[in-house]
Structure 1
Amino acid sequence: MSKYLVNKFLYTVDRDPALVERYREDPRATVAWWEAARAGALLGCAGGEDSTWTRFEDAEREALATHDHPALFALGAHPFLTLTLFIALFERDHEGLGYQKQYAERLAHFALPYPDIAT
């Protein structure tokens, strides 16, 4: 698992309002674009340089493309990064703390020890 790359995706998308909207409206295309166009540059790869560190694994790509935060958590994505991005994506669709409660409910089946979030 390339947890660092997944966390980098979550972090960089969350900090760009246009990318947040793009990811909300067309997550699969946004993930594919980011992986192809931004991953290598953000990780310091020179032009034409390639590494498995600049590509998501299939499970990561699918979880990102379907906004599946429980799957991302199980894969080791940092929960604060998923929470902040997913609040930006979906809080507007819920009243009060409705989205945060839904987010927590979908993670309630996890028990200690939680998945390792170290990168």
Structure 2
Amino acid sequence: MSKYYVNKFLYTVDRDPELLRRYKEDPRALVTTWEQSIGPKLNDYERSTVHALTDAEREALIKHDYVALFEMGAHFFLSLTIFIALYDEEYMAKHGPLSFQREFAAKLGHWTGKEYPSVAT
């Protein structure tokens, strides 16, 4: 897994309201666009040809599968913040405050007592 590249995706998309909107509405299109044109940018002038998402990473991002991302070693805080941005409003309307965070914790509950996957890149 390219933890760096997955984390770069999570960080970049979470901090741009337009990318976040696009990720919620059409994750496959946004992941493809990001991987081809946004992710490789190092700065305004340089591009990287070294990083690429694996098929498993790509599918987890497309499916918003934060459990799989966590298990692959994506940074838990980056995962939590982007998925809160995507789902918190609708979860709160249906189930009250912190309902998405509770679901996130419950779905990762099988890690209780185990050593978490390393987030080192």
* CA RMSD of superposed structures (Å): 1.7
Change (3 A) 1:45 1:61: farther
TM-score by length of 1: 0.91
Give the 5 Å matches for 1:81-96. Answer: 81-95=78-92, 96=97
Distance 1:69 1:84 in 2: 11
Structure 1: gaps spanning 5 or more residues = none
2:77 — aligned with what? 80
Gaps of 5+ in 2: none
**Aligned residue-pair number:** 116
Q: TM-score, normalised by structure 2?
A: 0.89
SS at match of 1:116: coil
Cα deviation 1:30-75 (Å, max 9, x = unaligned): 101100001111379845x622x1x100110000000000000000
CA distance in 2, matches of 1:84, 1:106: 16
Displacement after TM superposition at 1:26 (Å): 0.5
Matched, 1:101 2:102: yes
Q: Which runs of 4+ in 1 moved over 6 A?
A: none
Q: 1:79 to 1:108 in 2, by over 3 A?
A: same
- Identity rate, percent: 52
